[in-house]
Amino acid sequence: MSLGHAEHIQGADRRGLAGVMPRPIKVTMLGAGSMFTPELVKDLFLIPDNVGGTIALVDIDERRLSTMTKLVELIAAEFGVADVWTVASSVDRAEVLPGTDYLVNCIEVSGVDCVGFDSDIPARYGVDQCIGDTIGPGGVFKGLRTIPVWLDVLSDVERLCPHALVLNYTNPMSMMCLAAARTSNVKVIGLCHSVQATSRILAARAGIPWRELTWECAGINHLAWFTRLEHEGIDLYPRLFDHARRDLAGDPVNDWDRGDFVRKDMMLHFGAFITESSGHLSEYLPYYRTRADVMEKYCGPEYDGESFFYATNWPQWRVNADAQRDRMLAGEESVPEKRSWEYATWIIEAREKNVPFTINGNVPNAGGLIDNLPHDGIVEVATMIDRTGARPTRYGRLPTQMAAICVSNMATYDLGAQAAIERSKEAAILAVTLDPLTAAVCNPAEIRAMVVELFDAESDYLPGFA
């Protein structure tokens, strides 16, 4: 089984991995206007003993691209690496893809133009979403808008930089990676921060240092299970179960640990903690968003399960991000100097220095990395990175009840990816029909009507669908 140890990324402040980067590299940021770019660029500059290279920024929004180019140049100057790192930018990815070693994908097709449709139309049919970017009507339609563009990107990569390693941050993660696996020979790893963030949460709840935590974690993106969670050989779950029961009963052990009820309740009933926030998780299940009284009990504010949370806040978040970049350029706000736990630059460092490093990556379940999940699907498992690339480790069998929850989501991902590849409205209808939450509140005829309405509303962003 794959084993995760917190010490794999204990150097995330400054130390990095042993060795010297042997060559300059080229990293292309696609969707460079995204929130990930300043963080990942800063992390790249903080790789110890790197010898620089080129950062190429690509975004179809010229204004945001111009701002980000200036910001990256400023960060390079502030970190004292402007003499070894060259910054290039273009609205046309084909201009900068040649020579790319690593492509970081953060595209957001349609921007914020469809988040209202993704949320409001399903709500009229009784489908209440918090985030709506991974599964359900919102997640499927984000996939339908994004995957065709994504596949064009991968086609360009095959033509212009076929040896590049593609690191995908864009949701819906499983659908994106599945579509890539079915249509492209490009090497793709799907990256999320759920395992890193959740392991820290669990260490804090158990009252132990995060670096001393040992775990096994496997499943699918946003639905991976910490099936083993120990400190110095002692199982931490009895302590966590007790804390969860007390919090659900209104008597929390710590005031700072109130809420997150969906994850705590699922842990008590299914036997292990899940990697994504209660707000995300509540959408992947048929249990928590179907009645007002249940939502009142289990769903809290913001990422804890708030209705329309992304649709309400995402447009303003983009405005806030743009304003923050302007403040940084004006010298009114500084760039953090601590390297983050985002996996991208740790993958780059491990591969370039040939130092083994373990991440939790989204990869094809080829050969049955998780035996009792579909072998043609995408799973999230411990993955070793070194000079040879990414080597996913075999987990084995998930406990049956945990595998069943994953499988219920993977059917929607399978049909959602198929719908996007084939431009098939019928496959899209079936994908949403199999979504666990949607199926809990709608009959098939209602789901078909809802999906047709979504296609009509978002037609400008869905070219080619028959």
Residues annotated as part of the active site: 193
What are all long-range contacts of 313-316, with beta carbons under 8 Å and residues at least 24 apart?
Answer: 314/112, 314/115, 315/112, 315/115
Report whether 210 contacts 5 (CB < 8 A).
no
Cα–Cα distance for residue pair 345/333, rounded to 1 Å: 24
Asked if omega into 172 is within 30° of 0 (cis), the reply is: yes
Which is nearest to 380 in space by CA: 410, 341, 350? 410
CB atoms within 10 A of CB 222: 27
Q: In this structure, are residues 240 and 422 in contact, taking their beta carbons and an 8 Å threshold?
A: no
Contact (CB, 8 A) for 340 and 35: no
Alpha carbon separation from 456 to 18, 118, 306, 439, 465 (Å, rounded): 54, 12, 27, 22, 11
HSE-up of residue 66 (Cα within 13 Å, Cβ side): 3
Give the start-end residues of each E strand in 263-402. Answer: 273-274, 357-364, 378-386, 389-392
Q: Which two tokens stand for residue 127?
A: 């489908």
* Closest C-alpha to 43, from 69, 16, 4, 74: 16
How many alpha carbons lie under 13 Å from residue 331 in its C-beta half-sphere? 2
Residues 6+ apart with CB under 8 A from 346: 9, 12, 17, 357, 359, 385
Q: Pinpoint the alpha helices (H) of 161-291.
A: 173-183, 194-206, 237-248, 261-270, 278-283
The neighbouring-strand residues paired with 26 are: 54
25-30/53-58 β-pairing: parallel
